[in-house]
Amino acid sequence: MKKSYQSLEDNSTHNMKQVIYRNLTSKILHLGFILLLTFSTSLTAQEGDPANGKSLFNANCASCHKLDKPMTGPALRNVEARLAEEQGLDREWINAWIRNSAAMIKSGDPYATKIFAEWNNTAMTAFPQLSDQDITDILAYTAQPKPEPVVLNGGGGETPPDDRGASNNLILGALAILFGLLAIALVLVKRTLNRFADAKGIEVATKEKGLPLWKAFVQNQFLVLVTVIFLLLASGYFVYGYFMQVGIDQGYEPVQPIHYSHRIHAGDNAIDCKYCHSSARVSKHSGIPSLNICMNCHKSISEVAPETLAEGREYGVDYNAEIQRLYDAVGWDGTAYTGDSKPVKWIRIHNLPDFAYFNHSQHVSVAGIECQTCHGPVEEMEIMYQHAPLTMGWCINCHRETNVKVQDNGYYTKIHEELSKKYGVDQLTAAQMGGLECGKCHY
């Protein structure tokens, strides 16, 4: 059972990698795969190595096929058996189909033509490189039984995954009980001792009541003065601090209409920030990615791995439901776009006032500054929040400290030469370049 979890998870992560790969090699992308059809001579069927088959499947087939769900091509679970039973097609047919389906369609094979028409006349990429053994392995993998659905809410109570949590609680509980016992014991001891004292007629020394502390304090005028001054200063400090943070939304972490986890995308999957926020390269805005960008990957990824799902429960979120929200917004019914889309109303986190001009491309493309410099450890953020204060002082500090990246930029050649001579330094800060002038950001 555990093993099959493993495999599903592997499957989905591979899918993700595959997606990136797909985008790089769009050639493969464009061609759809069609079903692997198998003739099941039960002799050969079970000889394959499902582990090798799985890796082959993930490398070659997974971008268009899933085991249990139709994607670009049909679902492939038990395909060999099904074909044999329903169509009477043998392994030879499957081999021929996988290696060159187009030729089969051309030759007028009836089932080949039928399946071709059924899947939108999308031809499956030919895989002449797959050996007979490879295909056997793949088919063995597809012939594996479907894993039991994961029980999410621990209904069976048999697979609580976080043992550590439980043991922590146990230790803490034990400690609490221990301390409770100690306290009770102390009280008891004191009582007993008092009783002894009573019995032996020993007078327990009671403190003589002196001047109460507060009275002494009030009578000492100097102390009062110092305290008042201290309090005034302290409250002044806090009032100033309060007013200075008005309008600064550092740490602003609104609940978004779709729970989008930067941690999973930018962190676990290490997707480049600019894959989604592509306009940061050329525009003043980094841009909130349009939903078609999401669908580049999520067309294939409709649910997350069980472990990811479990992680989500820590944040109180069901990632699969969130993906479904994406599908609702973009109007994707699992196989096709319905055209009924509802744009997502994200809540904007980083808001600069209108009178401040900021240009992402200047910082991202020209200066080559990491997104994290201003946006913080986005790859660790489950929910995006405002990392930097985004105040003018914060901008200016950075401009004072950061050196301008002048190397290999033809624009800077002349001005760098002149300014280095003027200031007698080799590295120029943005401030020396004129980056503190009012009009550079306020117009």
Q: Look-up: residue for tokens 């100033």? A: 240
Q: Smallest distance from the beta carbon of 26 to other proteins, in angstroms?
A: 15
End-to-end alpha-carbon separation of the chain, Å? 64
Give the span between the Cα atoms of 440 and 443, in whole angstroms: 8
Q: Smallest distance from the beta carbon of 323 to other proteins, in angstroms?
A: 16
Q: Is residue 388 at the binding interface for other proteins, with CB under 8 A as the rule? A: no
Q: Sketch the per residue contact string, 275 through 314, with other proteins: x for CB under 8 A, - otherwise.
A: ----x--xxxx-xxxxxxx---------------------
Amino acid symbol at 257: P
Among 316, 393, 410, 424, binds other proteins (CB under 8 A): 410
Among 81, 258, 317, 329, binds other proteins (CB under 8 A): 329
Residue (134 or 322) nearer to other proteins, CB: 322
Helix boundaries (H) for 57-162: 79-82, 91-99, 101-107, 110-118, 132-142
Q: Is residue 346 at the binding interface for other proteins, with CB under 8 A as the rule? A: yes
Q: Which stretch binds other proteins (CB under 8 A): 1-9, 103-111, 305-313, 433-441?
A: 433-441
Token pair of 237 as six digits: 């400090």
Q: Smallest distance from the beta carbon of 294 to other proteins, in angstroms?
A: 10
Among 316, 408, 424, 426, binds other proteins (CB under 8 A): 408
Contacts of other proteins in 7-66 (CB under 8 A): none
Residue in 124, 143, 128, 114 with CA at minimum distance from that of residue 47: 143
Q: Smallest distance from the beta carbon of 286 to other proteins, in angstroms?
A: 9
Q: How crowded is residue 200: how many other Cβ atoms within 10 Å of its Cβ?
A: 7
Q: How crowded is residue 219: how many other Cβ atoms within 10 Å of its Cβ?
A: 10
Q: What is the CA radius of gyration of the chain?
A: 34
> What is the 8-class DSSP label of residue 433?
I
Kindly determine how many residues on this chain lie close enough to bind other proteins according to the rule CB under 8 A: 56
CB 75 within 8 A of CB 65: yes
Among 161, 247, 334, 377, binds other proteins (CB under 8 A): 247
Residue (235 or 341) nearer to other proteins, CB: 341
Q: Is residue 419 at the binding interface for other proteins, with CB under 8 A as the rule? A: yes
Q: Smallest distance from the beta carbon of 439 to other proteins, in angstroms?
A: 3
Contacts of other proteins in 151-180 (CB under 8 A): none
Give the span between the Cα atoms of 184 and 164, in whole angstroms: 30
Residue (372 or 420) nearer to other proteins, CB: 420
Give the span between the Cα atoms of 329 and 332, in whole angstroms: 8
Give the span between the Cα atoms of 61 and 76, in whole angstroms: 10
Contacts of other proteins in 358-387 (CB under 8 A): 359-362, 365-366
Give the span between the Cα atoms of 245 and 259, in whole angstroms: 28
> What is the 8-class DSSP label of residue 337?
B
Query: Which residues are at the interface with other proteins (CB under 8 A)?
Result: 246-247, 249, 254, 279, 282-285, 287-293, 329-331, 341, 343-348, 351, 353-357, 359-362, 365-366, 408-415, 418-419, 422, 434, 437-440, 442-443
